[in-house]
């Protein structure tokens, strides 16, 4: 190369720090830079086509992002309402055995996090609680066990120990603390057996 003009097009593709006060710039030149830009233009055209070829692609993307945020908010509000209904049904179906308020049910939730939220809400509202929430989440079993602190102390209930044993029924595993534990697995057909074990445990 006799002069810098022969470099042709140049495109910086990465820039970052490598040490204190030192930064590194990575770039491509010539035919590679031209091909890079051609690919970027093609990508923008494809995105525009997906958006219906708007005059302002950035504005259209921003509107789509806002719509996505709004939809997520509506879904969260709906799910919160549904969880409230599930909690109400669980409270209505609660049984009191030997001074223990027992809730053992197979419920419908979207994820294990919702089951956990329900369990903690129930613990805040119900004394002497022994709660086992079972769910089929997209074909995968979920087990959540919540125990009131006084039952951990007075009756030596241990959610972590129970879940390690009962998770075997769903070909899974999990763990946690004496007052709360969760597990997942691979066999949803084992959930009714876990329910049976939990009912027998609190009735013993």
Strand blocks (E) in the chain:
10-19, 22-29, 95-97, 100-107, 129-137, 140-147, 173-176, 180-184
Domain edges within the chain:
7-52, 93-203
Cα–Cα dist 29/37, whole Å: 11
Kindly tell me if the per-residue pLDDT of 97 is higher than 60.
yes
Per-residue confidence (pLDDT) for residue 74, from 0 to 100:
76
Q: What is the DSSP pairing of strand 180-184 with strand 173-176?
A: antiparallel
| % pLDDT > 90, the chain | 54
pLDDT at position 21: 83
pLDDT at 176 over 70: yes
Q: Are 183 and 167 contacting, i.e. CB atoms less than 8 angstroms apart? A: yes
Q: Is the pLDDT of residue 102 over 80?
A: yes
The neighbouring-strand residues paired with 100 are 97
What is the dihedral sign for C-alpha 190, 191, 194, 195? Answer: negative
CATH number of 93-203: 3.10.310.40
Is the pLDDT at 1 greater than 60? The verdict is: no
Residue 166 pLDDT level (bands cut at 50, 70, 90): very high
Whether 193 has a pLDDT exceeding 90, the answer reads yes
Q: What is the pLDDT of residues 105-163, one digit of tens each?
A: 999 998 999 999 999 999 999 999 999 999 999 999 999 999 999 999 999 999 999 99
pLDDT band at 57, cuts 50/70/90?
A: confident
């Amino acid at each position: 190369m006799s002069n810098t003009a022969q470099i042709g097009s140049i495109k910086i593709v990465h820039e970052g720090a490598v040490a204190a006060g030192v930064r590194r710039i990575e770039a491509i030149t010539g035919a590679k830079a031209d091909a890079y830009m051609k690919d970027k233009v093609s990508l923008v055209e494809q995105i525009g086509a997906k958006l219906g070829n708007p005059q302002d692609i950035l504005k259209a993307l921003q509107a789509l992002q806002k719509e996505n945020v709004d939809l997520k908010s509506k879904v969260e509000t709906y799910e919160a309402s549904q969880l409230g209904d599930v909690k109400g049904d669980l409270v209505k179906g609660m049984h009191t055995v030997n001074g223990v308020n027992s809730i053992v049910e197979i419920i419908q939730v979207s994820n294990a996090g919702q089951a956990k939220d329900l369990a903690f809400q129930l613990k805040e509202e119900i004394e002497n609680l022994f709660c086992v929430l079972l769910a089929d989440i997209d074909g995968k079993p979920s087990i959540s066990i919540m125990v009131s602190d006084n039952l951990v102390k007075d009756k030596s209930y241990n959610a972590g120990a129970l879940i390690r044993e009962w998770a075997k029924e769903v070909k899974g595993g999990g763990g946690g603390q004496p007052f709360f534990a969760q597990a997942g697995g691979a066999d949803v057909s084992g959930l009714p057996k876990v329910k049976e074990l939990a009912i027998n445990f609190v009735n013993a």
